Amino acid sequence: METTLRWLDRPGGQGVTWGVPWPRGTVAAGAPFGLTGPGGAELPVQSWTTATWPDGSVKWSAHAAVPGDPGEGAYRLVPGRNPAAPRVPVTVAREGGLLRVSTGTVTWTIAEEGDTLVRSAHRDGREILRDVRLVSLRQDGPTPDEGGAVRRESVTGRVERVTVEQDGPVRAVIRAEGRHGDWLPFTVRLYFYAGAEDVRIAHTFVWDGDPGRDFLAGLGLRAGVVMRDEPHDRHVRLAGSGGFLTEAVRGLTGLRRDPGEDVRRAQVEGRPCGPIGNPEVAGRLHLIPAWNDYTLDQNSADGYLLRKRTAEGHAWVTIPSGTRSAGYGYVGGISGGLGFGLRDFWRLHPTRLDVRDAATGLATATVWLWSPSAPAMDLRFWHDGLGQDTFAEQLEGLEITYEDHEPGFGDPYGIARTHELTLRVYGATPAHPDLAAHAAAMNEPPLLVASPERIRAAGVFGDWAPPDRATPARAAIEDRLDFLFDLYAREREQRRWYGFWDYGDVMHTYDADRHTWRYDVGGYAWDNSELSPDLWLWYQFLRTGRADVFRFAEAMTRHTGEVDVYHLGRWKGLGSRHNVQHWGCSCKQLRISSAAYRRFLYYLTADERTGDLLDEVAEAEEAYAALDPLRKVREDDYTPDPSALSVGLGADWGALAAAWLTRWERYGDGRARDKLMRTMAGIGALPNGFLTGEARLDLATGRFDTSRDTVSVSHLSAVFGLPEVCSELLSLGLDVPGFERAWLDYCRLYLATPEAQAAETGRPLTGISLIQAHSRLAAYAAARLDDADLAALAWRRFFHDEGDQLNSNPLQREPDWRLTRVEGPHVPAALWDAPFVSTNDAAQYGLAAIQNLALIARHLPESNDGPPAFPRT
């Protein structure tokens, strides 16, 4: 089954890694893959399997290639064809405690332990790079508002273990693990491609400090750069918002005496200046200052500061500054140098680029992930508890600010953050167009993708379909889906949803009175995956193939999987509900750490760090043995018991099932498969199936107690990935008696009349709301049972959310979705406002619209006037 691939947003000339899904049974395990370029030439490709179907055939494959001249046409991936071999493969060799990675262009030397990530890098026989290290600054108190003394300690990170994860021939991956001194464990991956002059670096650290006394004042990657050339043949380039600061260590432009146009032009372009013919200049070179140090400081999303100095102990000279730096720089000379940078540099502020000692024999370049110029990182809890010391008081707080507070639970211990960096070894000072291209590729890494139609044909990720505007009614829904995504892209920019810990997330609820999101109101602030915006964005990408949607979803997955989830400590494997601080809520649940939100990025990109996150939650059920997420609202007598562990059959089991399914399909893990199928069988055996609401799990056997005979429904059960994972499971055709019936019963009855509910369960269901969101359950049952009446019910409930007033959908109370212009002076800056939108409603509208269109589009009542109008019932 030959597959056509295209570039997501920009072509890539050097290394690229991507994933492709395959229909069940079409690609045998171990099958090779061939790749042809736009011109038909065979390209080297390295392939591996990232998931298999239950029959053992390939479900997802991953591939790495070096496209060379990427061209404009499509690529073709062909299973069963042997790949071409790279002319010069990337190789990894061990030599006495060192790894030598050769790309054919650059040779990188890596010590298997110690205080360097990279010992050296050579190009054309010359050492260019030396002693790449992780550096950090630790402060013993918060940065004072108005003076005062704090003590800072400088620390070099130490590598404790190095693992070769891939060793060519197209791609090599080296993983290094260690600690930043005596805290902050890190994992760093180094990515090398055949023929490449750069290494991509993914740095992850986990916070394990005490927020009351540990303040991170700087975190960075530092590299030494060998400087051989004359000072006037040494160059510094730092990216602004549209180009580069162009400097020489000893400048020959603007002097009182002219060295000659050829010399001036050569220096600006980064070429050798050659002999300086004007003796009035040549004889006075020692009187021209050499600029030793440069700094670009991005302390906000709206501005960076540039400065330079001749040496430490002398004043900084300011350089005209700008807004948003692309985060890329160069230091070196005509005989070679280093390019260095950080992806999403201004979005992840406060960040900084430093060049030091450029006038000496060994310069250093530092990429600061947290700028030492900014106030030290302060992770203390944001309020004093407000006297909420008992569950009763905390529940009262929930009623007014929606914050689920509990003393000691707003702890960041165990949260993480991943950054992506680049080091590039140049043989000479690069031309400005090359620098710009490399900065762009760093910020938007090239990615090959299959078309939405081809991905859907593989039968992955459940119920979705490409956009269909064939009728006015369908087009109206598509318009609204576009409106919602475009709104959030605009809001991220208007509201500046950027910053080290914040970038990637969105806010939860809007405050129409202040014309701002409720960033300071308890549980209404950062969203933390509440009601699945992650899923909405990924499904919208799958169906549209839009690059801007992919990049938004990618940033959200990177954030929510790292910052909103615990990777160490007592809550490892759990995530935090929405709050003013991402980790601030006392509700720690699987619904936030769910593998359902991460699988898309992993399978589409084969990103190893995302794979780590999926591994972390493979046995996340064990976290509930230490913490009962319902401890504040339980009416029964329950203490967590590993032999009878309370698991909600909605958000909890949906997250567990996604984790077990992913573990099974990635590794063929029989234990994960057994837990999945045994709990599916348990749900099928419960007298009321999913309507039971909760079951008791024996961790030792992986089985539910099926004697529980109750009916309990929550409006939250099916809005955290449960419909999506159930659809995937049922599409696998697993032989699990009773499971499909249990799921279809839930889908049929949730929106049924009270009389119909009582006829099957003995009484009407309570807790019914989020009606529009649940329309997709009725749609699923309608499609599975071929029931036109259920399909009509689904569309009626989709267009008229008839839930309780607290949870009714404001998107359905607005006949026209319009932006309103809000001018000053009562807002800080003019903005476009959509006060009827909240993230809960937007995410669930998106998911319901996408799935309903995929499942029951043929039952959608058509209208020539736009959205169908159903009378309220």
pLDDT digits 0-9 by tens, 776-827: 999 999 999 999 999 999 999 999 877 665 567 889 888 889 999 999 899 9
Give the pLDDT confidence score for residue 863 in this predicted structure.
Answer: 65
Give the pLDDT confidence score for residue 292 in this predicted structure.
Answer: 98
pLDDT digits 0-9 by tens, 638-664: 999 999 999 999 999 999 999 999 999
> Residue 690 has what DSSP assignment?
G
In whole angstroms, what is the distance from residue 249 CA to residue 234 CA? Answer: 6
Report DSSP letters for 306-357, one per residue: EEEESSTTS--EEEEEES----EEEEEETTEEEEEEETTTTTT-SEEEEEE-
pLDDT digits 0-9 by tens, 543-555: 999 999 999 999 9
Tell me the mean pLDDT in the region 459-480: 97
Asked if the model's pLDDT at residue 101 lies above 90, the reply is yes
In whole angstroms, what is the distance from residue 35 CA to residue 761 CA? Answer: 56
Q: How confident is the model at residue 366 (pLDDT cuts 50, 70, 90)?
A: very high
Q: How confident is the model at residue 10 (pLDDT cuts 50, 70, 90)?
A: confident
In whole angstroms, what is the distance from residue 656 CA to residue 725 CA? Answer: 10
Q: How confident is the model at residue 261 (pLDDT cuts 50, 70, 90)?
A: very high
Please give the mean pLDDT across all residues of the chain: 96
Q: Kindly report whether the peptide bond that precedes residue 446 is cis, defined as omega within 30 degrees of 0.
A: no
In whole angstroms, what is the distance from residue 481 CA to residue 850 CA? Answer: 9
Asked if the model's pLDDT at residue 718 lies above 60, the reply is yes
281 within 8 A of 258, measured Cβ to Cβ: yes
Tell me the mean pLDDT in the region 476-480: 96
Q: Kindly report whether the peptide bond that precedes residue 687 is cis, defined as omega within 30 degrees of 0.
A: no
In whole angstroms, what is the distance from residue 171 CA to residue 167 CA? Answer: 7
Give the pLDDT confidence score for residue 141 in this predicted structure.
Answer: 95
Tell me the mean pLDDT in the region 558-565: 98
In whole angstroms, what is the distance from residue 528 CA to residue 538 CA? Answer: 16
Give the pLDDT confidence score for residue 800 in this predicted structure.
Answer: 85
pLDDT digits 0-9 by tens, 238-256: 999 999 999 999 999 999 9
Residue position matching structure tokens 């920009």 = 10
Give the pLDDT confidence score for residue 68 in this predicted structure.
Answer: 81
3-state SS, residue 740: helix
Give the pLDDT confidence score for residue 787 in this predicted structure.
Answer: 98
In whole angstroms, what is the distance from residue 579 CA to residue 855 CA? Answer: 35
Which has the minimum average pLDDT: 110-124, 493-507, 796-810?
796-810
Give the pLDDT confidence score for residue 814 in this predicted structure.
Answer: 85
Report the alpha-carbon angle 717-719-721, nearest 5: 95
Tell me the mean pLDDT in the region 159-178: 98
Give the pLDDT confidence score for residue 149 in this predicted structure.
Answer: 87
pLDDT digits 0-9 by tens, 575-633: 999 999 999 999 999 999 999 999 999 999 999 999 999 999 999 999 999 999 999 99
The H-or-E segment that residue 139 falls in is strand 126-139
A 10 A CB-CB count for 698 gives 16
In whole angstroms, what is the distance from residue 233 CA to residue 259 CA? Answer: 14
Report DSSP letters for 657-693, one per residue: HHHHHHHHHHH--HHHHHHHHHHHHHHHHSTTGGGG-
135 within 8 A of 366, measured Cβ to Cβ: yes
Tell me the mean pLDDT in the region 381-395: 96
In whole angstroms, what is the distance from residue 574 CA to residue 409 CA? Answer: 12
389 Cβ neighbours under 8 A, 6+ residues apart = 407
Q: What's at 393, amino acid-wise? A: E
Domain extents in the chain: 3-79, 91-224, 231-273+293-378+416-443
Tell me the mean pLDDT in the region 164-186: 97
Strands 33-36 and 75-79: antiparallel
Separation in Å, CA 411 to CA 48, 215, 569, 661: 39, 14, 10, 30
